[in-house]
Homo-oligomer: A and B are copies of this chain.
C-alpha cells in the first residue's frame, strides 16, 4: 500500500510557522517529519528533539547539501528568510525533492519561472505555502462578489505592527526588516492583499506603491493601489502600524466584508 504510506518530509527554518506547519501536516496522516534543518547545530538539534518520539528520531541537518542528498526525504518545507527561498528551492528541486515554499516564495517573476520550469522538467511539485485561497472563506468571498454586480473598488488592508518593530527602534535589524534577507512589509504582509486581489481579478493593469522606507533599506509600510480597468484596489500594508480595518469589496448592488484579509475568518 505504498500510496498510503505517509510522505517523509523535512523542514528548513525553526520559527513558529514551521512548528505550525509540522503539526498541521502530521495531523492529516499523509506526512511524516523525518528531518529538520537550521544553520546552527544547537537550534537544529533542539528543534528536532521537539518532534522526536522514543520510536521515531528526527535528523538534525545544518548543511543544505546533506539534506538534499538524503534519499529518504521526498518533500521539503522551506521557511527560511525570504532571500534564501529561491536558492534553497532550486537546490532541492535539482536533488529531486518536492518543495513547499513559504510566502513570498520568490522575489520576482523570473525566479518563479525558473522554479516552475525546473519542477516541470523533473516532474516535481513546487508550491507556495499560501493555503487560504483554498479554504471555504475564499469560495464564499468569490460567491459574494459575484452577486455585487459591477465592482466599484475594494479596500484590502493588512497592516500589523511587527513584534520585532521595537527591536528595530532600538537600532537592531531583525530579519523581517533586513534588506539582506529580503524583508519589508510588502513582501511579507502585502502578499496577502496582492494574492487575494489577483486570485479574485487576475493581475492588475498597473500598480502603485508609496512606501515609507526604513533606515534598514526596506519598506516599513505604505499604501498600495492596484489599478484595474474599471476599479481600483487600495491596500494599507504595514509592519510599522496596525490597521483595524476589515477588507471591503464595493459593487453596484452593495458590498462584501472580509474580517481579516489574511485569514479571511469570516466573509459577510
Nearest Cβ in chain B — how far from A34, in angstroms? 45
Q: Is A144 an interface residue (CB 8 A)?
A: no
- B155 to A221, Cβ gap below 8 A? no
Nearest Cβ in chain B — how far from A235, in angstroms? 10
Q: Is A222 an interface residue (CB 8 A)?
A: yes
Pick from B225, B242, B244: contact of A223, CB under 8 Å: B225
Given contacts A152-B212, A169-B252, contact A232 B240 (CB under 8 A): no
Residues of B within 8 A of A245 (CB): 155, 245-246, 248
- B255 to A248, Cβ gap below 8 A? no
Pick from B155, B232, B241, B242: contact of A212, CB under 8 Å: B232
- Contacting B at CB under 8 A, from A225-268, are 225, 227, 230-232, 234, 236, 238, 240-246, 248, 250-252, 255, 257
Residues of B within 8 A of A227 (CB): 210
- Contacting B at CB under 8 A, from A58-87, are none
Overall SS of chain A's interface: strand
Residues of B within 8 A of A240 (CB): 152, 250
- A244 to B246, Cβ gap below 8 A? yes
Nearest Cβ in chain B — how far from A99, in angstroms? 36
Complex alpha-carbon distance, A231 and B236, angstroms? 13
- B255 to A241, Cβ gap below 8 A? yes
Residues of B within 8 A of A238 (CB): 152-153, 250
Nearest Cβ in chain B — how far from A102, in angstroms? 27
Residues of B within 8 A of A190 (CB): none
Complex alpha-carbon distance, A240 and B223, angstroms? 21
- Contacting B at CB under 8 A, from A149-165, are 152-153, 155, 157, 159
Please list the residues of chain A having a beta carbon within 8 angstroms of any beta carbon in chain B.
152-153, 155, 157, 159, 169, 210, 212, 220-223, 225, 227, 230-232, 234, 236, 238, 240-246, 248, 250-252, 255, 257
5 contacts between A and B (CB under 8 A): A153-B222, A153-B241, A155-B243, A223-B232, A244-B246
